Amino acid sequence: MAAKEDFYKLLEVDKNASEAEIKKSYRRMAMKYHPDRNSDNPDEAEKKFKQIKEAYEVLSDPKKRAAYDQFGRAGVDPAMGGRGAGADFSDIFGDVFGDIFGGGRQQRSSVQRGADLRYNLELTLEEAVGGTEATVKVPVLVTCGECKGSGARKGSTPTTCPTCHGHGQVRMQQGFFSVQQTCPTCRGTGKQIKDPCPKCYGQGRVQETKTLNVKVPAGVDTGDRIRLAGEGEAGINGGPSGDLYVQVQVKDHPIFTRDGANLYCEVPIGFPTACLGGELEVPTLDGKVKLKIPAETQTGKLFRLRGKGVKPVRGGVVGDLLCRVVLETPVNLTKEQKELLEKLQTSLSGSGKHHSPQEHGWLDGMKNFFDNLTG
């Protein structure tokens, strides 16, 4: 192979190839010409491999590629060629396949953010609608006060891990692949504690129960979350603490049900009130209000009390209270009451008018249905 062969030809791509196409071809050819896979002719394979590596280092860098396209090899400074001809094959292969195995020589940071925590907070409907302040107790890992989070006994310090030399990872050779793994000795921290803290046993954190005051804004509903920044678990090796998320759960109410900003309730009314009309007291979250029932009100009718619902937690128009009247049939009637109802029934039936339009319509529909079946 000529030393001056075109870089594009070396990687078997055309001059308009994208960065992804160049990288894909480089991987394929690196696999093909790696010396470990060419034991019959390792010297020639090594030479070819280094040429491919040189071509990739130029064409994968936009600035170098532009200079090469304009001036050829003369436009590429040899000092910018990275590791050069003396590069170690395990390092080169780590560059090519590092993203597959989590590779590269980047040291894993031993500083880690603490975990986020969740707390389920039950509220009454009144507390959720009006807002409140709740006291919660949360078991959480906090920084050990004895060792200040180092994990080492007071007066001592952690030492560099002898296995990974502080990198937190070790490189394992599997054939021609070089794979990085978490160090089994220090578990990725890069440090070793020979004299652990007697309080946290070398963990740097201990469990405590925090007592926190949570301000619950007015209008929250089931599923809403309140974030308390930095109130989660303490970080590791000086890392920041996680957050605490308070998950709201609103308990069922004996009178009201909620749908967004609106409240619903059922109001039982007696037969005389439904027929003649009247005025009832109905509850709201702000107290009792008067509800006018017009004459001839049918069961199931909804009455809207505007502005008696919920103000949304994120702002907006206050919802309404919708009262659904339910006709209650009288029970435990006396003989006299029954006789009066029978007289009323006779009077209604003999008047020739449809005093129960829904019942009359239903009876007509049923009659037509059976007529069609028999016809």
- Under the banding of pLDDT at 50, 70 and 90, the label for residue 78 is low
Structure tokens, 244: 């605490």
CATH homologous superfamily of 109-154+201-251: Urease metallochaperone UreE, N-terminal domain (2.60.260.20)
Fold for domain 7-97? Helix Hairpins (1.10.287)
**Under 8 Å between Cβ of 161 and 122:** no
Q: In the CATH hierarchy, which top-level class contains the domain 257-327?
A: mainly beta
Q: Quick one: pLDDT at residue 375?
A: 58
Average pLDDT over residues 155-178: 79
Q: What is the average pLDDT across 315-319? A: 92
Phi then psi dihedrals of residue 141, to 5 deg: -80, 125
- pTM, entire model: 0.60
- At 317 the pLDDT is 93
Q: Are strands 262-269 and 257-259 parallel, antiparallel or unpaired?
A: antiparallel
Q: Is residue 119 a contact partner of residue 112, using CB atoms and an 8 Å limit? A: no
Q: What is the mean pLDDT of residues 319-323?
A: 96
User: What are the tokens at 15?
Assistant: 């001059």
pLDDT score of 138 more than 90: yes
**Residue 171 pLDDT more than 90?**
no
Any idea where the domains of the chain sit in the sequence? 7-97, 109-154+201-251, 159-192, 257-327, 335-374
Q: How confident is the model at residue 175 (pLDDT cuts 50, 70, 90)?
A: low
Answer whether 109-154+201-251 and 257-327 agree in fold.
yes
What's the rounded mean pLDDT across residues 97-119?
63
Segment 233-280, tens digit of pLDDT: 999 878 899 999 999 999 999 999 999 999 999 999 998 898 899 999
